Amino acid sequence: MFKTNAKRIIKSGFFAFFRNGFISLSSVLVMIITLSVIASVIFMSAILNSSLEEIRNKVDVNVYFFTTTQESDILALKKSIEKLPEVKQVEYVSAEEELTAFKARHQNDQFTLQALDELSDNPLGAKLNIKAKEPQQYEGIASFLQGENILSQKGQSIVDNVNYAKNKTAIDKLSKIISSSQKLGFFFTLLLIIVSILITFNTIRLVIFISRDEISVMRLVGASGLYIRGPFVVSGVLYGVLSGIFTLIIFYPITLWLGKISSNFFIGFNIFDYYISNFAQIFLIVVGSGIFIGAVSSYLAVKRYLKI
């Protein structure tokens, strides 16, 4: 009996959807706009996260050592730093490698190169490049480097300079950008969902008003509340499914056209490649959002306006 009623409710929902063709089309078009904005937020978040990740990878803390510091002391400090939970990576650059890189950066500055050649010893010391898992964790790493951990076996300081203070402004700005972008994206998406629910809510209310005579007849013949309400919820879900599918179809040529542009402008991020490689996830989010909006708004509308 339940299976039979379910089939009838679904069939009635599809029938009501196509019978009220103009209203259904209007609801689908409005929901397509909303889901398009939600999809745009997904792509913008991916672009932002990719760009921030590139910036995050370029932000680090450099620890410069005295030229007299023993390599064994530096490597011992490196192991201690790597044990910190907030550290992602520690790279050791020897004094010789630092000198080679310095000459490469100043290859067009003959005066500086000649001055280096006149020196009998390498004026540059070794260094450690430290990358944290999150930008806000650099302060803790800097505090660690200011303690007794930077002393050699003889009890002398081995660190000449730590450039955290120099990079602190850039690190703090990056942390604020990441936090603000996450909050803004969440707020914007939530606002759109609420607006879509209200629009679909009013659409279902209009459908209920149009079907008032049919509903009265169903009441007279003893139809259950679930049988009367069910088709409206099914129609709402159908709005969401079709809107989600059409939104994904629309975004295929858009992302294809924007692929090369985004790759050149956003540090190698190709929005079309992202769309294809993450299609299953995007499909679930977009279509799922459409079903959620359609089902919730339909349920609220029938509960509010369909008194049985």
Compute how many other C-beta atoms are within 10 angstroms of the C-beta atom of residue 284. Answer: 11
Rounded Cα distance between 175 and 167, Å, is: 12
Per-residue model confidence (pLDDT) at position 62: 83
Position 155 scores a pLDDT of: 58
Instruction: Retrieve residue 3's tokens.
Output: 């299976």
**What is the model's pLDDT at position 64?**
86
SS3 assignment, position 67: coil
Name the 3-class secondary structure at 274: helix
Which residues of 133-222 form beta strands (DSSP E)?
159-162
Per-residue pLDDT of the chain (308 residues; tens, 9 = 90+): 556 656 766 666 666 667 666 767 777 887 888 788 888 878 887 887 777 777 666 677 888 888 888 888 888 888 888 888 888 888 888 888 877 777 777 777 777 767 767 766 777 888 888 888 877 788 788 888 776 556 655 656 777 777 776 666 766 676 677 677 777 777 877 777 777 677 767 766 766 666 666 666 666 655 565 666 677 777 778 888 888 999 999 999 999 988 888 777 776 788 889 999 999 999 999 999 888 888 887 777 777 656 55
Residue whose tokens read 């209007």:
26
pLDDT of residue 96: 84
| Structural domains of the chain, ranges and CATH numbers in brackets | 2-55+174-305 (no CATH), 67-157 (3.30.70.3040)
Q: Name the DSSP letter for residue 150.
A: G
Interatomic CA distance for residues 155 and 134, integer angstroms: 32
Confidence (pTM)? 0.63
Confidence at residue 249, expressed as pLDDT on a 0 to 100 scale: 94
